[in-house]
Amino acid sequence: MSDTPDDAHTGAIKNPKQFLTSTILAFVVPIFIIIGLVMFVTSGTKPMTGVGNPELAIAQRIQKIGNVEVRDANRPLRAGEEVYKGQCAACHATGAAGAPKLGDAAAWGPRIKTGFEALVQSALKGKGAMAPQGGGDFDDTEIARGAAYMANAAGAKFAEPERPTAEGEAGK
C-alpha cells in the first residue's frame, strides 16, 4: 500500500470552520428563502388601502363591530311545551350529560323541592353540564315557562309565569 492518503474517499469539508459554514448555509439560508417566498405570495392578495379603490378603504374603516337585535316585546309568549321542544328536549328527552328526563319524578323531586325560582335560575345561568339558556331564541320568561313545563311533568304544580308588567319591574 502507498503512504499517501487516497483523495477519492475524502469529502469537501476538511476542518470545523468549513463544517460550521456548510451547516449554516444548509439550514438558515433555506429558511430565509421560504420566508421571502411566503411574503411575496401573500403580499399580492392584500389591496393597498386607499389606492385604486377608495370605496373599499372606506368600507373597511367603517365596518360594523357588532349587532343589535331588537325583538318584539309585544309578541305572545310561547308555551312551556314549545320552549321544551325547541330548547330543552335535546338533553332532557334523552337524559344526556346527566340531565333529568322529562316526567322522571325521582330525578326531578330534589330539584322541585328547591323551588321554582331556583329552577329558573339554574336554567338561565346554567348548572353542572347544562349551559346557560338565557339570551337565546327564547326570553327569560319563556325559559321559566319551559322549566315549569318540565317540573310539572314530573309532578310539580308550578304555574306558567306571565310576562312581567312595566309596573312590576319598576317596583323592583
pLDDT at residue 33, as a whole number: 94
pLDDT at residue 51, as a whole number: 61
Give the DSSP letter of residue 163. Answer: P
Q: Do 92 and 99 contact (CB within 8 A), yes or no?
A: yes
Q: Which three cell numbers stand for residue 80?
A: 312551556
Q: What is the DSSP string of 120-131?
A: HHHHHH-BTTBP
Does residue 126 come out as left (phi exceeding 0), alpha (psi in the -120 to 50 range) or beta?
A: left
pLDDT at residue 37, as a whole number: 92
Q: Do 120 and 113 contact (CB within 8 A), yes or no?
A: no
* pLDDT (tens digit per residue) in 124-135: 888 777 877 766
**How much is the pTM?**
0.54
Q: Which residue has the higher pLDDT, 68 or 94?
A: 94
pLDDT at residue 170, as a whole number: 45
pLDDT at residue 171, as a whole number: 44
pLDDT at residue 8, as a whole number: 64
* pLDDT (tens digit per residue) in 1-40: 555 555 566 788 888 899 899 988 899 999 999 999 998 8
Domains and CATH numbers, the chain: 80-162 (1.10.760.10)
